[in-house]
Amino acid sequence: MTLPIFMTMFGYMLVSSFTPGPGNILALNTTLKGGLKNSRFLLVGIGAGYFVVQYICTGAVLLLDAVLEGAMVYVKYIGAAYLVWLAVHIFLSKMDSQSQGGKSGFVSGFLMQLVNVKIYFYCTTLLSVYIVPNFNSWIFVLLMGLFVIFVGCTATLSWAVAGAKLQKFYFEHFKLCNTVMALFLLWCAVSMIWS
């Protein structure tokens, strides 16, 4: 891989990983409510889900390119429905003692990533445009997958830290914050259907 191709790929990775998406918004929302300590299992679940999705996409691009496109149609609708459910849940949530100290677990983060169509499209595009055409070895493709996961998890962690730092603001403007986050999730769902 040449340096210009790597820089273009890295720019794509940064923009795709750090822009709002379901995993990033869930991490932000959870740490807003419960802080980093109470959100650690959710964040590990998001990372583990990212790992699984990355290698599902790797296998699909390398072995089942024809099947991947057909499968993505179904995953897209399942993911969009889940995002709408999550947006409604966030919008309707009430400020109480449970929400201030609430925890989200590993399974929530993991399942979020399994239906997060944004990372399926992101990983598939990254693999098919940048990684597979420029690396002749499966080992390099798998190692690049670890780098992709690292960048994605770093992005999610930065959203989580932002959530922890904004807790005071969140509790003062609970309904406004939840409305904005719910709208972002609805926007993600709509953009997935029409992409």
* Model confidence pLDDT, tens digit, residues 94-133: 765 444 444 568 998 898 888 888 888 888 878 877 888 7
- Please count the residues of the chain: 195
Query: What gap in Å lies between CA 192 and CA 186, rounded to an integer?
Result: 10
Give residue 43's pLDDT.
93
Q: Which residues contact 52 (CB under 8 A, 6 or more apart)?
A: 110, 113, 114
Give residue 155's pLDDT.
93
Contact (CB, 8 A) for 91 and 113: no
Contact (CB, 8 A) for 189 and 76: no
Query: What gap in Å lies between CA 85 and CA 87, rounded to an integer?
Result: 5
Give residue 45's pLDDT.
94
Give residue 110's pLDDT.
92
Query: What gap in Å lies between CA 195 and CA 21, rounded to an integer?
Result: 14
Joined tokens for residue 25:
């918004």
Q: What would the mean pLDDT of 34-61 be, rounded to a whole number?
A: 89
Calculate what percentage of the chain has a pLDDT beyond 90. 16
Give residue 100's pLDDT.
45
pLDDT at 24 over 70: yes
Q: What would the mean pLDDT of 180-190 be, rounded to a whole number?
A: 79
Query: What gap in Å lies between CA 113 and CA 104, rounded to an integer?
Result: 14
pTM attached to this predicted model:
0.71
| Tally of CB atoms within 10 A around 6 | 12
Which H or E run contains 174?
helix 174-193
Q: Which of 8-22, 100-114, 134-148, 175-189 is the most confident on average?
A: 134-148
pLDDT at 64 over 80: no
Please tell me what DSSP assigns to residue 19: S
Residue with the bigger pLDDT between 188 and 29: it is 29
Phi, then psi, of 101 in degrees rounded to 5: -115, 20
| Tally of CB atoms within 10 A around 124 | 20
Q: Which of 17-21, 45-49, 94-98 is the most confident on average?
A: 45-49
Joined tokens for residue 119:
């990372």
Locate tokens 């210009």: which residue? 4
* Model confidence pLDDT, tens digit, residues 154-174: 999 998 998 888 877 877 887
Enumerate the domain spans of the chain.
33-193
Query: What gap in Å lies between CA 54 and CA 129, rounded to an integer?
Result: 15
| Tally of CB atoms within 10 A around 98 | 12
